[in-house]
C-alpha cells in the first residue's frame, strides 16, 4: 500500500488511526470485497465495524462513541470506500445520515434508545428525505405528519433510502404545518420500522453500490409517539440542513476512497504493461493522466479535511462541505474513468475492481445533493460573503 500518511495536514493520532483502519479493512473487508458486490453485505460485518468503534468516531462517549470528530469519520469513510463503496455507504447512512440528527437534536433518552445501538453496530439506521416527487427540492416534501392526541400519524412515500429495507430506525422528515413554508413547517421523527403501516415497496436495482440496499418505502398511517419527535415541531428543515453539512463532508471522504484504489491499480499497471517496446507509462497520454489523478486526490483530501476541521471547531461549513463534495465526487468520476482507460480492455473486465469503483463513484454527484445543487449553494454562499444582508 502506498503511504499517504506522511502528510503535514494530519495529526500523529489521525495517522495512526488511519493505519489501524487500513489493517481492519485488509483483514475483514478486502477478502470479500468483490463477493459482497453481488448482494447485500453480511449484517455481521456492520456489527464488527461497530465493535471496533468505526461507527462512532464522531459520536459522544455517552452513546458509545469516541468523540474524535468528523476528521476521523472521513478517514473511516475513505478507507472502507477504498475497499468496498457500497459497504461504507450503508455504514455511513446508519451512523452519520441517521446518527447525526439524533446526536445533535435528540434528547438523552432518544440517544440512549435509538442512537447507542446504532453506534454499537447492533441496529441499523436510515434517513428518509427523498420522495418519488421530491428530490433536490426538499422543501416541496409531500409526506405529512398529523397530530393525534400525543402521537403523530405519518403518511407518504420515501424513495432511494439507503438501508431502507434493512433499517431498524428511520430519521423521517415530514410536513407538520402545510400552511407555512417548509422552513418552518417541516419536522423530523424517529420511526421504528416495525411499526404497523411501514412497508418496503421495493429495493432499487442500481448501477453500482451493489453491496448496499437502497429502497422505496411507504408510510401508511404510521403512528409515531410524541416522544419520538426530534427537536421541536417545525424544526425539521433546520435539522435537515445541519445533517447535510456532515453528510457532504463524509461523502467527500468516501469519494477519495473510490478514486484512490483505481489510481493505485492504474499506476502499477502503467508501470508493468508494455506496448511498442516500453512500459505504457512512457507515453504522456498515460502518465499525464496519472499526474492529474494524483493532483486531484491530494487537492480533494485537503478540501475534505478543511471542511471536517471546521465542523469539529463548530464553524458553519455549508460552503466548505459543498466545495469538498463537489470537487471530490467529480474528481472520483474522472479518476475512475481514466483508470479504466489506462487499463485498456482489462479495465472493462471484472478481472480488476476498477469497473466496480467506476460504477460506485458515478452515484456521488447525485446522492446527498447533486453537483448542480452544490454549485448553486456555493455561489449563494460566495455572494453572501461579498454582499452581506
Ligand atoms: C443510490 C442512492 C442512494 C440514496 N440514498 C438516499 C438516502 O439514504 N436518503 C434520502 O433521503 N435520499 C437518498 N438518495 C436520494 C438522492 O439524495 C437524490 O437522488 C438526489 O437528492 C437528487 O434527487 P432526484 O434524484 O429526485 O433528482 P432531481 O431533483 O429530480 O434532479 C434531476 C436533475 O435535475 C437537476 N436539478 C434539479 N433542480 C435543479 C436546480 N434548481 N438547478 C439546476 N439543476 C437542477 C439535478 O441536479 C439533476 O441533474 C439516494 C439516491 C441514490 C441514487
Structural domains of the chain, count: 3
Evaluate whether residue 2 is within a structural domain.
no
Q: Which of 186, 208, 234 is the last residue of a domain?
A: 234
Q: What CATH number does residue 306 fall under?
A: 1.20.140.10
- Measuring from atom 4 of ligand 1, which residue has the nearest CA? 160
Give 106-114's long-range contacts (Cβ < 8 A, gap of 24+): 106/190, 106/230, 107/227, 108/62, 109/227, 110/190, 110/227, 110/228, 110/230, 111/60, 111/62, 111/63, 112/63, 114/169, 114/190
- pTM (2 d.p.): 0.97
Same domain, 153 and 201: yes
CB 98 within 8 A of CB 104: no
Over residues 169-194, mean pLDDT: 97
Evaluate whether residue 300 is within a structural domain.
yes
For the Cβ of 57 lying below 6 angstroms from any atom of ligand 1, the answer is no
For the Cβ of 377 lying below 6 angstroms from any atom of ligand 1, the answer is no
Same domain, 215 and 255: no
Residue among 101, 203, 250, 367 to mutate when testing ligand 1 (max atoms within 8 A of CB)? 367
Evaluate whether residue 135 is within a structural domain.
yes
Same domain, 215 and 197: yes
Same domain, 330 and 252: yes
Calculate how far, in angstroms, residue 347's C-alpha sits from the geometric centre of ligand 1.
Answer: 29
Query: What is the domain extent for residue 63?
Result: 12-119
Calculate how far, in angstroms, residue 116's C-alpha sits from the geometric centre of ligand 1.
Answer: 30
CB 289 within 8 A of CB 344: no
For the Cβ of 128 lying below 6 angstroms from any atom of ligand 1, the answer is yes
Q: How far is CA 325 from CA 15, 68, 217, 348, in A?
A: 22, 21, 27, 27
Tell me the C-alpha distance between 371 and 338, whole Å.
Answer: 20
**pLDDT at res. 3:** 52
Tell me the C-alpha distance between 133 and 248, whole Å.
Answer: 22
How confident is the model over 88-130, as pLDDT tens digits? 999 999 999 999 999 999 999 999 999 999 999 999 999 999 9
Whether pLDDT at 1 is above 60 = no
Other Cβ atoms within 10 Å of 67 Cβ, number: 13
Q: Which of 205, 234, 263 is the last residue of a domain?
A: 234
How confident is the model over 251-301, as pLDDT tens digits? 999 999 999 999 999 999 999 999 999 999 999 999 999 999 999 999 999
| The ligand 1 atom nearest the CA atom of 93 | 8
Q: Where do we find the cell 471530490? A: 328
Q: Which of 183, 207, 234 is the last residue of a domain?
A: 234
Amino acid at each position: 500500500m502506498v503511504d499517504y500518511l506522511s502528510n503535514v495536514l494530519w495529526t500523529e493520532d489521525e495517522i495512526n488511526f488511519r493505519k489501524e483502519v487500513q489493517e481492519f479493512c485488509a483483514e475483514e473487508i478486502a477478502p470479500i470485497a468483490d463477493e459482497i458486490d453481488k448482494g447485500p453485505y453480511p449484517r455481521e460485518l456492520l456489527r464488527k465495524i461497530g465493535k471496533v468503534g468505526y461507527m462512532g468516531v464522531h459520536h459522544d462517549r455517552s452513546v458509545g462513541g469516541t468523540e474524535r470528530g468528523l476528521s476521523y469519520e472521513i478517514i473511516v469513510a475513505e478507507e472502507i470506500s477504498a475497499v468496498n463503496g457500497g459497504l461504507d455507504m450503508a455504514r455511513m447512512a446508519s451512523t452519520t445520515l441517521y446518527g447525526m440528527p439524533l446526536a445533535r437534536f435528540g434528547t438523552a433518552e432518544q440517544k440512549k434508545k435509538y442512537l447507542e445501538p446504532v453506534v454499537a453496530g447492533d441496529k441499523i439506521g436510515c434517513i428518509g428525505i427523498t420522495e418519488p416527487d421530491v428530490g433536490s427540492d426538499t422543501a416541496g416534501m409531500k409526506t405529512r405528519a398529523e397530530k393525534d392526541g400525543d402521537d403523530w400519524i405519518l403518511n407518504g412515500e420515501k424513495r432511494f433510502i439507503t438501508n431502507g429495507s434493512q433499517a431498524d430506525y428511520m430519521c423521517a422528515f415530514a410536513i407538520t404545518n402545510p400552511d407555512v413554508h417548509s422552513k418552518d413547517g417541516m419536522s423530523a421523527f424517529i420511526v421504528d420500522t416495525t411499526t404497523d403501516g411501514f412497508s418496503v415497496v421495493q429495493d432499487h436495482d442500481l448501477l453500482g453500490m451493489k453491496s448496499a440496499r437502497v429502497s422505496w418505502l411507504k408510510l401508511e398511517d404510521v403512528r409515531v409517539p410524541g416522544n419520538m419527535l426530534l427537536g421541536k415541531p417545525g424544526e425539521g428543515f433546520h435539522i435537515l440542513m445541519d445533517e447535510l453539512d456532515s453528510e457532504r463532508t463524509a461523502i467527500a471522504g468516501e469519494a477519495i476512497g473510490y478514486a484512490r484504489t483505481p489510481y493505485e491499480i492504474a499506476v502499477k499497471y502503467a508501470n508493468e504493461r508494455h506496448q511498442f517496446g516500453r512500459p505504457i507509462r512512457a507515453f504522456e497520454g498515460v502518465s499525464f493522466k496519472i499526474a492529474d489523478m494524483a493532483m486531484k486526490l491530494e487537492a480533494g483530501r485537503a478540501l475534505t479535511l478543511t471542511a471536517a476541521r471546521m465542523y469539529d471547531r463548530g464553524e458553519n461549513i455549508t460552503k466548505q462541505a459543498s466545495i469538498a463534495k463537489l470537487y471530490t465526487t467529480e474528481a472520483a468520476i474522472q479518476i475512475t474513468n481514466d483508470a479504466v482507460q489506462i487499463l485498456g480492455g482489462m479495465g472493462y473486465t471484472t478481472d480488476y475492481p476498477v469497473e466496480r469503483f467506476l460504477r460506485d463513484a458515478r452515484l456521488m454527484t447525485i446522492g446527498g445533493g447533486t453537483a448542480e445543487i452544490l454549485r448553486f449553494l456555493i455561489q449563494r454562499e460566495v455572494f453572501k460573503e461579498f454582499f452581506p444582508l
